[in-house]
Amino acid sequence: MLQKFRPKGTFLLESGEHLPEIEIAFHTYGKLNAEKDNVIWICHALTADADVAKWWSGMVGEGKCFDRDKHFIVCANILGSCYGTTGPLSKDENGAVYYDRFPDVTIRDMVKAHIALRKHLGISEIEVLTGGSIGSFQAAEWAIMEPEVIKHLIIIAGGAKATSWTAGLNEAQRMAIRADKSFFDFTPDGGKEGMKAARAMALLSYRNAAAYNKTQPLDPNDDYRKLKAITYQQYQGEKLARRFDAYAYYVLTKSFDSHHVGRGRGGLQKALSTVRARTLIVGIDSDILFPKGDQELIRKFIPGARLQWMHSDYGHDGFLLEYASLTKIIRDFMEEYGGL
C-alpha cells in the first residue's frame, strides 16, 4: 500500500533554493525485525515508482532475492517525480502548480529526502542499499552521505558521475520536449508529444544495436513504412505518455545530469574512499549508457569494492530483465557475509 510522509518545515535544496514543504510517497514490504537489521532499501530508476514489487517483480517477493518474508523492504519515490512525491505538478504555498517553476533537484536532494524518511521509519541501519541506473546514483550518494548507516552497497548499471555522453543524451531529449509548444501551455498534459519522442530516444540508449535488431527483426518483405522498429518506438512513447508527465521527465533528466559524487568533496577518489559499506558493483557487458569504464572507476576508489560483470543481450535494461543472473550475483556476494 502506498504511504506518505511529510517532513516538518521547509526543505532546503543543494542549489540554495527551498521547497516550503515536501511529501514523500513510499512502499514497505515485510516487517522490521526486533534487531532492526533486516532492511533492504531499493532506489528506483528514472520513471519507476515506489512499488518495487511490481516493476522489479523478478527480484522482490516471496522466495526471491529480496524476500518480504525475511526482509523489511523499502522503496521511496524520488523528489521531482509524478508518483506521489513532491514534483512539478505539485502545488506551491500559494496553491499554484509549479510546472516549469519547480526548482532544480539533485541526486543529493533525493537522498536527503530519503534520509528523512529513514529516520521517520526508525531505521538506524540499512543491511543492503541498492538500485539500478539513476537508482545506483542515489545508492552511491547515500553511502557517502551516511557511511555509518549502510552495511552493504550494491550498485547496478550505474556510475559515480554523469558523463558528457549521458548529459548529451538527456539534453537531446529535453530539446524534443521543448520543441513541443504545448510544454509551455503549463497544463498537466503539456509536452506529451515531445516526451514521446524523448522516450523513443532514451530507449535506444537502454538497449544496443544487437539487442534491438534481435527484438525488432527486419523482414525483407516488410513494408518499410511500418517496420517493427517504427511501431515499437511509437508504442514506447505512447506507453510512457499514459503514465508520466513531461514536466517531471524534464526535471528528472536534469537531476540525472547533476550526479557527481566528487562535487564539493575534493574529487571522486576522495569521496568514494569514505564509503565504509561492503560494496558490490554489477556492470552489464552490453550496456552502452554506462560502459565498462564507469563501473571500473567506482571499484578503483571504494575500498575493497568488488566488480562483477553480468552478461545480457539487452544492454542497460538487462538489470530489469535478467532476474536469475542478477539474483545469483547478489546472493553469491552476500553469502560471504551470512547471506540474505
Q: Could you read off the pLDDT of 10-21 as tens digits, one per residue?
A: 999 999 999 999
Tell me whether residue 133 is one of the annotated catalytic residues: yes
Choose, from 287, 294, 312, 317, the residue flagged as catalytic: 287
Average pLDDT value over all residues in the chain: 97
CATH of domain 3-162+259-335: 3.40.50.1820
Task: Answer yes or no: 260 catalytic.
Answer: no
In a 3-state reduction of DSSP, which class is residue 179? coil
What integer pLDDT is reported at residue 288 of this predicted model? Answer: 96
pLDDT category of residue 124 using cuts at 50, 70 and 90: very high
Whether pLDDT at 246 is above 90: yes
Task: Using a cut of 0.85, tell me whether the model's pTM lies above it.
Answer: yes
Active site residue 92: no
Q: At what angle do helices 107-120 and 246-257 cross, to 10 degrees?
A: 100
The pLDDT, as a whole number, for residue 221 is 87
Domain with CATH 3.40.50.1820 in the chain: 3-162+259-335
Could you give the CA distance from residue 289 to residue 317 in angstroms, rounded to a whole number?
10
**Three cell numbers at 178?**
521543448
CATH 1.10.1740.110: which residues of the chain? 166-256
pLDDT at 116: 98
Q: Measured in Å, how far apart are the chain's first and last C-alpha atoms?
A: 24
Among 133, 205, 255, 286, which one carries the catalytic annotation? 133
Alpha helices (runs of H) in 179-310, residue ranges in sequence order: 192-206, 209-215, 228-241, 246-257, 268-272, 292-301
Q: Of the listed 152, 260, 316, 317, which one is catalytic? A: 316
Q: How far is CA 338 from CA 127, 298, 306, in A?
A: 11, 24, 17
Q: What CATH fold (topology level) applies to the domain 166-256?
A: Rna Polymerase Sigma Factor; Chain: A (1.10.1740)
Does the pLDDT of residue 278 top 90, yes or no? Answer: yes
